[in-house]
Structure 1
């Protein structure tokens, strides 16, 4: 057997595999002899079928199968030994006059080669790394939400602006008949709010659905209708009041602090605000990091330029899917996937050049930290090491979970690398400012 490579250019090559009769004949003969021992052919006793008949019936199929096995093994070994970094898989070239009745065979394969390039991590401008701050307004709103959550409802006779009003929305034509509770904080417009203020149990209020709630999702919930039905809905509904309650806020005292964070961990309103601020900013950090990862990905794609074996990749896409594609379909698929392929190559180079590969021990430790974080949410702050080891072992026995956690860990490693090596500028913003700047 002989294997040779013709380099067409930096990104394309042809590999030729020459297979001679002596490379496969011994294995083919052995298989055919085994077939002869077990073949059941009418007119012949088992094991006494003439070899010529066995070869005539099975010889071509066995030959093709063994040559293809030999070919694939040799090609894979060659690519590994020569350290050829290929894109996709080798594509066999069509051979019009190929003859399986010959003794010697020659096969040609097209290769698409990965480009050589240097990663350009930094462009001219520094990338913004947002530090999201929980401002006083956000902290105060969170405290108010907590007070409502741990407060109590007090029944009333007459509705006022901040009350909760239970009742039933009805529109016979649209078959709406839904009992619900309305918070007047969610009602939109003074005219609508005024219809509720002063209402008593048993009163019937007539309302227009258009512009009734500040959020369209609240309309969907209140009327129990679909999102499609809620879109541009402009009908008249009645609301029959069945109950009026005032939400009394919980006192900001030690009893509430202990319910929230455990005995003695928070002792004053100032402590509470600090704790809420810390917890919020810890959650914001995840969003900030994800935005930074996205920004650096776009930046490195823009600044790292290299060519790809486009024609080869389009042909590979055209022929290797579940269903063959036309040239135009393959071209469209390539254009959709090109950006992702480029980043895979860039990411792979960063990982290899900086030894960022994930080891099993790192994966296990990362999984244990994820488990500890989840257990802490349910009040288990000090799990035993053996318990963590057992849970991690069960999780890591699932290949889908291994893949998911490995991707998380790799993203974290890349993020840490980018933070240390990319040109960054830190900008402090509120959460609302972050949303406006990033998502516009």
Structure 2
């Protein structure tokens, strides 16, 4: 057997695999002997079937199977031994004159080679690293939210500012009948608010859905419709008032502190505000880090230039999935996935050049932190180590979940690396301004 590689250019190559009869005949003969021993053919005692008959019946299929096994094994070994960094999988070249009647075979495979390039982390245009702070206004709102959450519900005779109104929205044409609770401050504009002010239980208010709430998502929840259905929705609805309630704010005292954070954790309003600030800025940091990783990714893709074996990849995409694609479909799919492929190559280069690795022990610890955070959301703050280990084992036994956590761990390591090796432009702002600037 002989295997050779011919480079077409820097990104494309052809591997030729020559298989002669001597490479597979002994194996085929051994299998045929084993078939003869087991063959159960009427008219012959078991093990006494003439070899010629066994060859005629099974010889060709066994030979084809063994040649294909040999071909796949030798090609895989060649790619490993030659340390070829390929994209996609080798594509067999069709041969018009190929025949399984021959004894010697020549197989050819097209390869798409990964490009050679360098990653420059010295950003010419500085990437923004956001430092999101919890400002005084946000902290005051959070304190009030806590007071509301633990406050007392007080019925009100008529609608006034600050109340919550429960009632049923109806539109017969759209078959909408939805009981909802809305906050007065979520109603948009003085015209709409005037329709509510002074109304009592049993009153029916005629409204228009367009511009009814300060946020369309409030309309989505109030009417029980999905996002597509409420987009641009402009219909009349009636709203029949069933309850009017206000929340009497809880007093800021030790009883409230203990309810929110546990006995003795917080002992004053100043400590309450400090704890809210600490918790909020931890959440903000997670969002800021994700945005930083997104921005670095975008920068590297835009500024790391290299060619791809595009035509090869389009041909590979056409046959790689469960359903074959037309050339047009494959070309469209390549356009969609090119950016992700480029970053995948860049990420791999950064990881390799800087010896950034993960092992199973690290993945277990990362998964343990993930599970603990999930349990904390449901009030389980101090799970037993044995219980935690059992849950982590179950999580990691799920291949999809293990892969997702592995990707998160790699992203975390890359983020740390980028923070240490890229000079950023630091920008401090509150959460509202961050959302406006980043999400436009």
TM-score interval, smaller chain: over 0.9
**CA contact 2:123–2:422 (8 Å) conserved in 1:** no
Which has the higher mean CA deviation after the structures are superposed, 48-57 or 219-228? 219-228
Distance 2:81 2:229 in 1: 64
Secondary structure, aligned partner of 1:245: strand
Output one character per residue of 1:273-312: Cα deviation in whole Å (capped at 9) or x when no partner.
1111111110011111111111111111122111222222
What do the CA deviations read for 1:77-125 (whole angstroms, capped 9, x no partner)? 1111111111111122222222323222222222221111111223311
Q: Does 1:14 align with 2:14?
A: yes
- Deviation of 1:222 (Å): 3.6
Deviation at 1:167, TM superposition (A): 3.7
- Cα distance, 1:322–1:176 mapped onto 2, change above 3 Å: closer
Which residue does 1:353 correspond to in 2? 353
Is the aligned partner of 1:154 residue 2:154? yes
| Local SS of the residue matching 1:396 | helix
Alignment partner, residue 299 of structure 1: 299
- Decide whether the 8 Å contact of 1:318 with 1:327 is kept in 2: yes
Q: What is the rounded CA distance, in whole Å, between the counterparts of 2:98 and 2:239 in structure 1?
A: 82
Gap runs ≥5 in structure 1: none
* Aligned-residue offset at 1:70: 0.7
Distance 1:330 1:229, change over 3 A: closer
Q: Distance in 2 between matches of 1:339 and 1:170?
A: 47
**How far apart are 1:389 and its partner, in Å?**
2.6
CA distance in 2, matches of 1:181, 1:7: 69
CA distance in 2, matches of 1:171, 1:370: 45
* Secondary structure of the structure 2 residue equivalent to 1:31: helix
Change (3 A) 1:154 1:37: same
Once residues 3 and 218 of structure 2 are traced to their aligned partners in structure 1, the CA distance between those partners, rounded to angstroms, is 70
Tell me how many residue pairs correspond in the alignment. Answer: 440
Aligned to 2:283: 283
Corresponding position of 1:324:
324
User: Whole-Å Cα distance in 2 between the matches of residues 23 and 68 of structure 1?
Assistant: 12
Q: Quote how far apart the aligned CAs of 1:19 are.
A: 1.5
TM-score, normalized by length of structure 2?
0.93
Cα distance in 1 for residues equivalent to 2:154 and 2:299: 56
Instruction: Look up the match of 1:217.
Output: 217
1: CA distance, partners of 2:363 / 2:261: 31
* DSSP 3-state at the match of 1:126: coil
Alpha-carbon distance in structure 1 between the residues aligned to 2:98 and 2:122: 52
Q: Deviations over 1:369-416 (max 9, x none)?
A: 222223333444344433333332232222222111111101101111
Report the equivalent of 1:187.
187
Q: How do 1:377-396 residues align onto structure 2 when only pairs under 5 Å count?
A: 377-396=377-396
What SS does structure 2 have at the residue aligned with 1:94? coil
1:344-423 equivalences under 5 Å are 344-423=344-423
* Structure 2 residues without counterparts, runs of 5 or longer: none
- Which residue number in structure 2 is paired with residue 144 of structure 1? 144
Deviates more, 1:392-401 or 1:294-303: 392-401
Change (3 A) 1:329 1:181: closer
Contact 1:6 1:13 (C-alpha < 8 Å) held by counterparts: yes
1:23-74 deviation digits (Å, cap 9, x = unpaired): 1111101111122222233443332222112212211111111011111111
Counterpart CA distance in 2 for 1:325 and 1:238 is 51
Find the residue that maps to 1:8 and give its secondary structure: strand
- For residues 159-174 of structure 1, the aligned pairs below 5 Å read 159-171=159-171
Distance, in Å, in 1 between the alignment partners of 2:179 and 2:315 is 61
Q: CA deviation at 1:227?
A: 5.2
Distance 1:53 1:370, change over 3 A: same
Contact 1:91-1:316 at 8 Å conserved across structures: yes
Structure 1 outlier segments of 4+, above 6 Å: none
Matched, 1:29 2:32: no
Aligned equivalents of 2:172, 2:87: Cα separation in 1: 63
Moved more, 383-392 or 312-321: 383-392
Checking the alignment, whether the CA contact within 8 Å between 1:32 and 1:55 is kept in structure 2 is yes
Correspondence 1:64 to 2:61? no
Match of 2:334 in 1: 334
Instruction: Provide TM-score, normalisation by structure 1.
Output: 0.93
Q: 1:26 to 1:415 in 2, by over 3 A?
A: same
CA separation in 2, counterparts of 1:229 and 1:365? Answer: 44
Query: Does the CA contact (< 8 Å) of 1:121 and 1:299 recur in 2?
Result: no
Distance 1:324 1:161 in 2: 62
Q: Select between 349-358 and 180-189 the one with higher mean Cα deviation.
A: 180-189
